[in-house]
Amino acid sequence: MTSLDHPEQAPRRRSTAHRWLLVIPFIWQVALIPLVNDVQAAPLNIPFPMLWQMLGIVATTIVIAVVFRLDRAAGVDDEERRFVAATEATAGDKA
């Protein structure tokens, strides 16, 4: 039997509540665009909504990198390795 059959045997990992940070890019790109769309400023001769979208790409990259690092610290890599090993063993039994 694999460790997936008995989750109480798997080592306890830390919270993954930090994944809620991934909501920030969504809010940036979707929820705030109506407010940004009416801004007439053009820093660096770039329309503000376009600049907002480009900054959103940078912000999204940073948020994803932070969540990736926090996932690693929470032990998600170990959990993923155990899952892959268990599913490969199960797939090998079916073949």
pLDDT attached to residue 14: 67
**Distance between CA atoms of residues 27 and 14, nearest Å:** 26
**Distance between CA atoms of residues 40 and 63, nearest Å:** 28
Query: Is residue 47 in some structural domain?
Result: no
Query: Is residue 33 in some structural domain?
Result: no
Q: Does the pTM of the predicted model rise above 0.85?
A: no
pLDDT exceeds cutoff 60 at 2: no
**pLDDT tens sequence across 35-93:** 888 888 888 898 988 899 999 999 999 999 999 888 888 777 777 788 888 888 776 66
Query: Is residue 87 in some structural domain?
Result: yes
pLDDT attached to residue 91: 67
Query: Is residue 95 in some structural domain?
Result: yes
Q: How many CA atoms lie within 13 A of 8 on its CB side?
A: 0
Query: Is residue 15 in some structural domain?
Result: no
Query: Is residue 92 in some structural domain?
Result: yes
Number of domains within the chain: 1
pLDDT exceeds cutoff 70 at 24: yes
Q: 76: domain range? A: 66-95
